[in-house]
Chains A and B, each alone.
Chain A
Amino acid sequence: MSMIGAWLASDTPSTYRQAVAGRFWRGTLGLRHQPMILTGTSIVLVFAVIAIAAPLIAPYSPTAQDLALNLRPPSAAHWLGTDELGRDILARLIWGARITLGIVALVSVITAPIGLILGCAAGYAGGWIEAALMRVTDVFLALPRLILALAFVAASGPGIENAVLAIAIVAWPPYARVARAETLALKHAEFIEAARLAGASPLRIVLRHILPLCLPSVIVRMSLDMAGVILTAAGLGFLGLGAQPPSPEWGAMIASGRQYMVDQWWVAAMPGIAIAAVSLAFNLLGDGMRDWLDPKQK
Chain B
Amino acid sequence: MVYVLAADQAGRFTELTQAKPQTHNRPMNHWKLTALTVLLAGLAAPALADTPKDTIVMVKQIDDIVSLDPAEAYEISGGEVIGNTYDQLVDYDPGAPGKIKPALATSWRIDPDGRTFTFILRDGVHFESGAPLTAADAAFSLRRAVEIDKAPAVTLNAIGLTKDNVADAVVALDEHALQIKLPKPLAPSFVLFCLTSLTGSILDSKTVLAHEVDKDKGLTWLASHWAGTGPYRLVMWRPNEYYALEANPNYWGDPPKSRRIVVRDVKEAEMQRLMLQRGDADYARDLDKVQLDALAKEPGIKFDKGIKTSIDYLGLNQKNQYLSKPEVIEALKYLVDYDGIAGAILGDSAVVHQSFEPVGFLGAIDDAPYQFDLAKAKALLAKAGLADGFAVTMDVRNGSPWPEIAQAIQASFAQAGIKLELIPGDGKQVLTKYRARHHDIFLGDWAPDYPDPHSNAEGFITNPDNGDDSTVRTPAWRNFWRDAAMNDAVAAALLERDDAKRAGLYQGLQHEFQRKAPFVMLFEHVEVAARRGDVSGLGIGVNTLFDRYDGIAKH
A226-267 CB contacts (< 8 Å) to partner B: 227-229, 231-232, 235, 240, 244-246, 256, 258-264
Shortest CB–CB separation between residue B424 and chain A, in angstroms? Answer: 6
A259 touches B4 (CB 8 A): no
A221 with B11: CB separation less than 8 A: yes
**A145: chain B residues within 8 A (beta carbon):** 4-5
Taking the complex as formed, is A106 at the interface, i.e. its CB lies under 8 A from any CB of chain B?
A: no
B290 contacts A71, C-beta separation under 8 Å? yes
B273 close to A (CB within 8 Å): yes
Residues of A within 8 Å of B411, CB to CB, are 63-65, 85, 246
Residues of B participating in the A interface, judged by any CB pair closer than 8 Å:
1, 3-5, 7-8, 10-12, 14-15, 17-19, 268-271, 273-274, 288, 290, 294, 337, 340-341, 343-345, 398, 400, 403-404, 406-408, 410-411, 414, 421-424
Let me know if B403 and A245 touch, CB within 8 A: yes
- Decide yes or no: A245 and B274 within 8 Å by CB, A67-B343, A225-B8, A259-B400 being known contacts: no
Shortest CB distance B393–A (Å): 10
Q: How far is the CB of A156 from chain B (nearest CB, A)?
A: 14
The answer on a CB contact under 8 Å between B345 and A67 is yes
Q: What are the residues of chain B within 8 A of A70 when measuring CB–CB?
A: 344
Question: A226: nearest residue on chain B (CB-CB)?
Answer: B7
Chain A residue at minimal CB-CB distance from B337: A67
B424 pairs with A231, CB closer than 8 A: no
Closest to B274 in A: A262
A13, CB-defined interface residue at 8 Å: no
Q: How far is the CA of A228 from the CA of B1 in the complex (A)?
A: 9
Known: A67-B344, A67-B345, A227-B3. A85 touches B404 (CB 8 A): yes
Partner of A259, one of B15, B268, B414, B423: B268
Q: Give the distance to chain B from A201, nearest Cβ to Cβ, in Å.
A: 32
Closest Cβ–Cβ distance, residue A34 to chain B (whole Å): 16
CB neighbours of B274 from chain A (8 A): 262
Minimum distance in angstroms from A26 CB to a CB of chain B = 19
- Selected from B4, B11, B408, B410, the residue in CB contact (under 8 A) with A146 is B4
A240 touches B410 (CB 8 A): no
A183 to B126, CA, bound (A): 81
Of chain A, the residue at the smallest CB distance from B340 is A67
Q: Are A259 and B290 in contact (CB under 8 A)?
A: yes
A262 touching B294 by the CB < 8 A rule? yes
Q: In this assembly, does A296 line the interface, its C-beta being within 8 Å of a C-beta of chain B?
A: yes
Instruction: Please name the residue on chain B nearest to A247 by beta carbon.
Output: B422
Task: Name B406's contact: one of A229, A235, A240, A245 (CB within 8 Å).
Answer: A245
Bound complex: CA A65 to CA B15 (Å) = 50
Chain A CB within 10 Å, residue with most, of B268, B337, B411: B411
Pick from A65, A71, A244, A260: contact of B423, CB under 8 Å: A244
State the majority secondary structure of interface residues on A.
helix
Residue of B with least CB distance to A173: B8
Q: What is the bound-complex CA distance between A195 and B343, given in angstroms?
A: 74
Would A63 and B414 count as touching, CB distance under 8 A? yes
Complexed CA–CA distance, A290 and B100 (Å)? 78
Complex contact A225–B422 (CB within 8 A): no
Residue A56, interface by CB 8 Å: no
The answer to whether the Cβ of A73 comes within 8 Å of any Cβ in the partner chain is: no
For chain A, which range describes its interface: under 10, 10 to 19, 20 to 34, or 35 or more residues?
35 or more
- Expressed in whole angstroms, the Cα–Cα distance for A229 and B8 within the complex equals 12
Residues A41-99 near B (CB distance < 8 A): 63-65, 67-68, 70-71, 84-86
A297 at the interface (CB under 8 A from B): yes
- Chain B residues near A224 (CB-CB < 8 A): 7, 10-11
Contact of B3 with A296 in the complex, beta carbons under 8 Å: no
Shortest CB–CB separation between residue B285 and chain A, in angstroms? 15
Residue of B nearest to A174 (CB): B8
CA of A294 to CA of B271 in the docked complex: distance in angstroms? 48
State whether A256 and B340 are in contact (beta carbons under 8 Å apart), knowing that A227-B3, A245-B422 are contacts in the complex: no
Tell whether A263 pairs with B268 under 8 Å between CB atoms, given A231-B4, A246-B410. no
Question: Are B344 and A86 within 8 A (Cβ)?
Answer: yes
A-B contact pairs, 21 of them (CB 8 A): A63-B411, A65-B411, A67-B340, A67-B341, A68-B344, A71-B290, A84-B404, A85-B344, A85-B404, A141-B8, A225-B4, A228-B7, A231-B3, A235-B1, A245-B403, A245-B422, A246-B410, A259-B268, A262-B270, A290-B14, A296-B18
Q: How far is the CB of B240 from the nearest CB of chain A, in Å? A: 14
User: Closest CB of chain A to B96's CB: distance in Å?
Assistant: 39
**Set of chain B residues within 8 Å of A227, measured between Cβ atoms:** 3, 7
Interface centre among B17, B19, B269, B270 (most CB of A within 10 A): B270
- Please give me the 6 A-B residue pairs with the lowest Cβ-Cβ distance, nearest first: A67-B344, A228-B4, A146-B1, A67-B340, A65-B411, A228-B7
Q: Given A85-B407, A225-B7, is A296 in contact with B15 using a C-beta cutoff of 8 Å? A: yes
Give Cα distance in the complex from A235 to B424, angstroms.
16
> Closest CB of chain A to B555's CB: distance in Å?
27
Is A244 a contact of B7 with CB atoms below 8 Å?
no
Q: A232-B4, A245-B410, A261-B270 given. 11 additional CB < 8 A pairs?
A: A68-B340, A71-B290, A84-B290, A85-B407, A145-B5, A174-B12, A224-B10, A240-B424, A246-B410, A259-B288, A296-B15
Set of chain A residues within 8 Å of B404, measured between Cβ atoms = 84-85
Which of A63, A64, A85, A221 has the most chain B CB within a 10 Å cutoff? A85
Known: A235-B1, A263-B290. A246 touches B270 (CB 8 A): no
The answer to whether B421 and A244 have CB atoms under 8 Å apart is yes
Contact with B along A286-298 (1 / 0, CB 8 A): 1000100010110
